[in-house]
Structure formats: C-alpha cells, structure tokens
Amino acid sequence: MSPTDVTRQVDDALAQVFDPCSVAANAPLNVTEMGLVRECTVDEGGVARIVVSATSPSCVLIGSIIKGIEDQVGAVDGIRAVDVRLDRETFWTPELMTIEGRDKLDARRQGSMQRIPVRPRQWQESTRTGHG
C-alpha cells in the first residue's frame, strides 16, 4: 500500500472519531471537523503520530477521544503503532473548526431553532410573570 493510501485511510479513520460533547448535543462532529487534530504524520515504519487539542483545559472526555483515535487509526492496514499526544498549548476556539464542521453545526443550530424557538432573554419573561 502506498504512503498516500495509508495517509488517506488514516484521515478516513480520524473522521470516524466523534467529539463526545457534540454527540451529546445531538450535533455530531468528528475530531477533524472540530479542528482538534493539530498534526498527523505517518512514518515509513507505519507509526502514526497524531497531536490533538482539547476543546477546553477542563475537558474530561479527552481520554475517550484519544482512545477513539488510537482504536480507529490502529485498525488501518499499514499502521504498526499509534502515538497520540495532547497539545496543551493550543487553546481551541470555533475558528479552528473546518468549514464543513461549521456548516454542519450552523445547520443543526438552525434546525433546533425552528423546532424549539427561543426568543432572546426569554428566560426573564417567566420571572416577571411569576412562572418558573
């Protein structure tokens, strides 16, 4: 298998690892779409080295993201080992998301707004009327 094929398959494998918080919010985005993958290389010996950042310094689910990356990338033919490192210096912001990821999130938000319309500061209305 050519190095280009392995790299493509690694990219495909990363697309199968979803950010748990986006899944819980019913807006599933993979780690690539979220912009969490800072670096991804595969050497000639079949070692994939992947650097990821968390969405926040207090992210408690980064371990499951790392495990998902190890499992998915480790299953790629030609990959002998997976070394995932956490980038503690890059602070994630929505601007790091791919255009496709932002488009998916925007579409999900628009759909949610149509299904469950919320007016700005709606929460204050219930306190003024004595409800809630």
Report whether 17 contacts 37 (CB < 8 A): no
Cα distances (angstroms) measured from residue 97 to each of 31, 74, 104, 112, 115: 9, 24, 11, 20, 25
Name the residue among 68, 86, 85 with its Cα closest to residue 30: 68
CA torsion 122-127-129-131 (nearest 10°) is 100
**pTM for this entry:** 0.81
Q: In which residue ranges of the chain is pLDDT below 50?
A: none
Q: Which bin fits 74, alpha (ψ -120 to 50), beta or left (φ > 0)?
A: alpha
In CATH, the number for domain 3-128 is 3.30.300.130
pLDDT tens digit sequence for 64-87: 999 999 999 999 999 999 999 999
Domain range summary for the chain, segments of one domain joined by +: 3-128
Give the 3-state secondary structure percentages of the chain, helix then strand then coil, rounded to 5.
Answer: 45, 15, 40
Whole-number pLDDT of residue 121: 78
Residue in 79, 1, 85 with CA at minimum distance from that of residue 47? 79
- State the Cα–Cα distance between residues 7 and 12, nearest whole angstrom: 9
